[in-house]
Every structure is written in structure tokens, then in C-alpha cells.
Chains A and B, each alone.
Chain A
């Protein structure tokens, strides 16, 4: 149980939850891993980098779809032989996302740091804070909640969800056997529509 009062989670509990989370991830091979120094409170975190492809057509996806209007591509609009055997396919565009779950020493809660890039390459064509905010369904998040911040361990800019609202969420999920999973599944939709596989639910009961 937590020692810092309701709505918080201790480092030990965070680490234990994180280890079970990563164990499950390796079973279902969905790519989460534990990084950093586990011996130092706050210095280890759970992370995943992922590339997805999104079809255009969907309203939500369109907002994430960059306009590839580099003039220089116009030089290369070739007309090649017609191939009758070629099926028409929907256009899919790459989206690289990175999610890190850290433990905040000052708030004693988990914090979600994330980044997204509308390209094949992490670092190229980043999703801006405004775009990330517009992706949140109810649109109620303000820059106070979702903003950019320096990743405390890596020292590079990330988007993050401010931990001040995590207290409430953790209180609601106080019966969970894995608060990290319960909390993450609640905040994930606000972080570039992160989806957790349903297998993780087993960890909470």
C-alpha cells in the first residue's frame, strides 16, 4: 500500500507494477520495456517506441496526416506503364510514437511522457502540442494538463500529461492490484490515442 497518502504510489510499488507490466508485455510481445536504473528511485521507466500506419479518410487520422507538399516531389511525377494486375489500395501513412511512463518523485505518481512524429523517422515532422491536444476526444485538456516538458532522465523535449490530475485517478483505482496499469489505461487515450491490450487487465484483478 502507498505510504504517501491517498492518490499516490510509492517508488517500490511503481517499480513492482512496472515489472509485472513489462513481463506481460513480453508474453504478448507488444514492445514495452523497462529502462534506466532500477536501484535509484525515479531513475527507471517503462518505454515503448512504435510505428503505426494510419489510413487517410478517418477524421481523426486526417488530423495526424501530414501534408507532403514538398515542391521538389513535383519533379518526379512519373507516368509508368499501366499494370492491370495492381490492386487499388488505401493510402497508409506512417506515425511513429514513443511513450514513457516515469515516476514523479515530487508528486509520488506515475507521469506519462510521449512524442509522436508524422513520418517514418522519429524526430522528423513532430506532432505539435496543439495537434496532440486536438486529438483528445473531449477536448477538455488545456496546456496546463498537456504540455511540452523536458524528459527528466533524457533531457530532451517530450509532451507530457501533468501529474496533478493523477492523484484523483489513483484514488478511484485504489482497489487495483496494479495501479500503474489502471492509471495508464485511463490516461492513455489523451496521449496520442495510446491503446493498451486487454491482456493487461488481468494484472489489476
Chain B
């Protein structure tokens, strides 16, 4: 073999317990201290993977102070130094070459002052340079195994042999046993002697070096053979990195021998040393070997590990999945949904649902119930809008609130946000306290500023949402959100409760280039031809709270009703999201004969109706359709165009001026038509599902 000897690099592996312990110590003990700290690292001897290299493992015991607490017979123990910078900038600015030169100096010193002869673990010193982002549980670290760069070249005297070829069985057994009996730090480096009486003796490096030097002086041999042994975590045909510092030590302490004789090394491999190899090396002939020796100890140090991308650079680990308790719950939550996907609906797009941004207008019985179903589907972004507080009468029906919330009189928007965060800590939840401007609720001078702010906030919220749920307690409160959803082209899901009846619907989409009435003959109209909550109305929404007693002002519903309506509202949304046509999906009507191959009607989770009406009085459910109405007071072209033009002043007019919306939308004109009765008759006969379309 003509090529000089090369060495396999080392690898380290940090355990998550290492970082958990480090975080604890950083907070409680080190604080802002950036000084280097002593740590332990070990090569486990329990590993089964003898075909691959054995990494230097760092775990929570690495920070123990007493060697007794980390010492065990089943490992090879190494000492290290760790520096953790407080800032990412400081970490980036450290020059790795300067770092290893200064921090690794101890290796050179321990060789030159001879302490490494008695304490061989000083040769396997390792360095850790780290930066820890304690908030994000993100750790940057880079490990080095320092050794001088300018090693005198060594050449193979013969091919590596297994210990079974080199030694007889008795000696192989003695070697393995002897290795296992060494204490965990001495296992790093030691000397193996074959005495004249053919006995195998295991001694420390100092004894080995002494044996070499005395035999040199006396020109006689006390021992038949001297082997220098090192624990070798590498599994390639090359010797491992730890041999380099052993060579340096021999070069310093027995230079004549080093530069003239064949030196034999035992590379201890395998968990019981059973895979060990014997290497025989001879140095290249140097004219002036003393120069070589001196320059070796003046040279720069090398030994940085490569990261998993096989680049020279730090390893970056994100442990938030294991260390952040909020994230731990996440995987479990997603499991149920994944089971649904795997077992029942393989094409279910869970990502789409997860990423959906839902705006819940109203955080009462409906709002709470809708939020819970959204949680069940794994929706990750929920914003609550409400302007009232939790009262003692709310808690039993409004499922997100507790008695404590009522005692503190918390805003519902905030209490609801806190409640969903309690249920799923990783969720992205917001609460906004906001009063929605309503037609018929006059905005006086004093309320002008707050109305302006409310409108701006609401516009922003709708803009940033994918879906808006209308779950408010009055009809007129739904008007402005309906206008905004039409103007900003957002999916709107509306749910409303009576005493024992409910309505759940999706609003149609609005295409403002087409103000013509939809074809009322089409049995299953597409989204663009479907109406909104106000499309059936023949008057504009007004103040429904005047002339009513307290019991009439509150929505008094049978308690089970909100759960039913909320369940339907969310399922309607999910069904349309998973429909290939989305919100444009054709509306299912009662008594449709559904063919599963009708892909305009049937989506992944089935069909998407427009309006679902139900009653607990006779436990009946109807699917109905309301068409887009070209003179609707909320979603028609003139209304939306005016909103887009005038914004706040339009909203103020709508609130303050009686019949403003009727005039603007053209509804007033229609109502004045002499042929109104005929028109109504014609409309009534186009759809057989309109019999119960008169709301509230």
C-alpha cells in the first residue's frame, strides 16, 4: 500500500434530553454566562449497529459534575467543552478555525506536559459550539474533535488484520475481557503488551511509552510485542479519528521509535471489542524528523464534524415537536381526522381544512357550537367577533364559557378565544370586541368615530378570512357582513335559530358583471345564482328590537337546536370545500334523484344544499333554494357598487335613513309595480320549495 494513512471522521449525536437539560441549566444556572462548560460524551457499548459507526452521544448526563455519576462499564467516556452563545449573531460570527485552535489547545498541552499519558481521555477531547433559541426550541450546534493538521505521514506496513488473525484465541479473549474491565475513561486509549512468557497484559499509555523508551535505550526487548490500542467508533477500513492524537502523543514522547519503527495499533471495535482490527504503520522517512515533530505541535487544529447534509457547518435541530407541550397535543388531534381520511375518504384534503381562516361573527350559543365543530375538523384559524360579555345565564347554553368567565364578566370574544386555546393550545385563535353597525339602528354623532373604527376593523377581518359565519342574534346584524362578503367574494355561512326551527345556508357568489335575473327554471342552480339571507325579503332589514319585551329580544330556542344548526353549518362548509366546484357547486334540492356520477352535484363528501331548514316540532328537514335577487337589499349590484364607492357614508345612510336600501336596490320600484300579484304568482310556481321561505 503506497497511500499514506487516512482517518475516518467522527460523528456525534445529541439526545433530546441533552437539550432539555441544557435549557433548564441555561435558565436556572448559566443564565447569560458564555464561558465554556465541561461536559461528558460517551460511546455506548450496547449498540447493535456494529456495521455503522458509533456516534459520540450527548444526553442529560453530559452535564453531571461528578465522573462517578456518568461512569459505567457499558460506555467509553470522553470529556468535552461547550460554548453556547447568547445571540445568533455571536454564533455566526465565531470563526470555526480560530475557535478550534484556541479551545483545542488543551489536547496539545496534555501531550506535551505528559498528563495525557496517565489521563488518556484528554486525547479524545471534543468541543461543542452552540446557539440555543430557547423560545422556539431550536438548537444550532457544531461538534469538533480537535487534532493537529500537520501529522507526519504514516504508511501501511501491511493490510489491516482482524484480532483473530493477529492473536491466538486465548489472547483475543484476554483482550476483549481486558477492554471491558477498564474504566470508562481509560477505555479511550491503552497499551497491550505481550510478555516474554506470552502473556497478554493491558496497561496504561504511560507504561507503554516507558516500555518503548527503555527498550530503545537498552537495545533489548522486555516484551515480545507492544500494541497501542484506542477505542475506534468508526466502521470503515480506515482507522478512526482518535488514532491521530495517539500518533501525536507517540511522536512527542518516543520520536526515535515513531520515525523509525513499525508501530502496531489495535483499533477496538464492536460492543465487546470482538470486531477489533490491528494496523501496522511505519512513518515516512523524513531527513529532519525533529522539524516534523516541532511543526506538528505548532500546526493548526482540525476536526469539525460534517452535518447531515455532508457540509461543514452546524446541525440545526428543531425540537419544538418534542419539547413544546402544545405541539405534543397536536399530533393526537390530527390522528382522528387522518383516520377518517385513511379509512373512509382517502382523497380528503385535510390541509385545506387546517389552513382555513374562519371568522365567527357572534360568539353566543351558535358561535360556541360552531367553534367546537370547527375544532373537531382540525381548523386551525378561528377569530371570534362579539361585543357582549359572558353573563350567568349564558354558561349553560354557550358551551365555551365557564362560571368563572361569568363571574369576571369577560368579553365573550376573549373568553371564547381562551376556551379554544385551552382545548387546543396550538390553535391560532383571536378575539375581537366589535359592534356591527345595523340598518335601523341610528348612528348618532357620538357614535360616529366608533362606527368608523368598527367598519374598518370588520372590513379587515372579512378581507383576511376565507369563510365568514353569520351567527349573530338579530337579522339586521347580518346585513353589513352579507354586503362585505358579497363585495369581497368570501364564503358566507349563515345560521339562524327560532324557538324550535333553524335555517342554515350558504350565500351564493356574486358576479357583478351580470345583473340579469337567474334562470329560475334550473333545478340545481350553481353558486352564482344562489341567493343570500336577504334575497327573499320584500322589505329592508330594520330594528327588530323595538316594540319587543325582554323575552322577545333574546333568542329563546330549545337548547339542542344550536348544536344541530351549528353542526349543519360546519358540515355544509366542509362539504362545499371538498367539492370539486367549491362554492359554485350545484345546490341539492329535496327529492332529487342523486346519481353519484353527477360530479356537478356530488362532491367528495356528497352534495351541497343551499338552505337547510328544520324544525324540532315535527323533526322535519327541508332543503330549499333561494335564487339570487337582482334587487336584494344586501347583495345586489347597486348595493355592493354603492358600498364600494362610498364605504362608511353608505353604511351610515343605511343605518340612519329609512327605506334607503329599498330605494337603492330597486325593491321599492318593484313593490310599486301594478302587476305585482301576477309576478308573485309566477315566482311561487317556479319553485316548489318556497312554501316556508318567510323568515322570522
The chain A residues found within 8 Å of chain B, CB to CB, are: 29-31, 50-55, 68, 70, 72-73, 75-81, 83-87, 89-94, 119-124, 126, 129, 143-144, 147-150, 155-157
Contacts and interface: CB of A to CB of B under 8 A. Distances in A.
Contact of A123 (B16, B53, B55, B310): B16
Contacts of B13: 51, 94, 120
A147 B53 CA distance: 32
B49 to A, nearest CB: 5
Nearest to A124: B321
Given A121-B15, A147-B343, 5 more contacts: A78-B96, A78-B311, A81-B149, A93-B308, A126-B331
Contacts of A75: 92
B450 interface: no
A149 B13 CA distance: 29
B335 A148 contact: yes
What 6 pairs between A and B have smallest CB-CB spacing? A123-B322, A76-B313, A87-B6, A53-B52, A87-B238, A143-B342
Contacts of A149: 335
B319 interface: yes
A92 B11 contact: yes
Interface majority SS on A: helix, strand, loop or mixed? Answer: loop
Contacts of A126: 331
Nearest to B346: A143
A126 B322 CA distance: 11
Interface string B495-513: 0000000000000000000
B309 A68 contact: yes
Contacts of A78: 96, 304, 311-313
29 contacts: A29-B46, A29-B271, A30-B48, A53-B53, A53-B55, A70-B316, A76-B92, A76-B313, A78-B312, A80-B97, A81-B300, A83-B302, A85-B4, A85-B5, A85-B6, A86-B302, A87-B238, A89-B234, A89-B236, A92-B53, A94-B13, A121-B317, A123-B319, A123-B321, A126-B331, A147-B342, A148-B335, A150-B332, A157-B332
A147 B312 contact: no
B244 interface: yes
Contacts of A76: 92, 311, 313-314
A71 to B, nearest CB: 10
Contacts of B343: 143-144, 147
Interface in B72-97: 92, 96-97
B131 to A, nearest CB: 11
Interface of B: 4-9, 11, 13-16, 46, 48-49, 52-53, 55, 92, 96-97, 149, 151, 234, 236, 238, 244, 271, 300, 302, 304, 307-314, 316-319, 321-322, 331-332, 335, 338-339, 342-343
B52 A87 contact: no
Pick from A70, A78, A84, A87 the residue with the most CB of B within 10 Å: A87
A79 B304 CA distance: 11
B265 to A, nearest CB: 15
Contacts of A51: 13
Given A122-B16, A157-B335, A86 B7 contact: yes
A121 B308 contact: no
B72 to A, nearest CB: 13
A58 B339 CA distance: 31
Contact of B339 (A79, A81, A83, A147): A147
A156 B343 CA distance: 19
Contacts of B5: 85
A147 to B, nearest CB: 6
A80 B312 contact: yes
Given A85-B7, A89-B236, A122-B16, A73 B48 contact: no
A172 B4 CA distance: 57
Contacts of B321: 123-124
Nearest to B45: A29
A87 B316 contact: no
Contact of A77 (B14, B15, B92, B313): B313
Contacts of B92: 75-76
A73 B302 CA distance: 21
Contacts of B49: 52-53
A141 to B, nearest CB: 12
A121 B321 CA distance: 10
B317 A124 contact: yes
B239 to A, nearest CB: 9
Contacts of A121: 15-16, 317, 319, 322
A153 B312 CA distance: 43
A150 B333 CA distance: 11
A120 B316 contact: no
Given A129-B342, A150-B332, A89 B8 contact: yes
Contacts of A89: 8-9, 53, 234, 236
A24 to B, nearest CB: 14
Contact of A73 (B7, B8, B309): B309
B308 A87 contact: no
A73 B316 contact: yes
Nearest to A29: B46
Contacts of B308: 68, 91, 93-94
A151 to B, nearest CB: 10
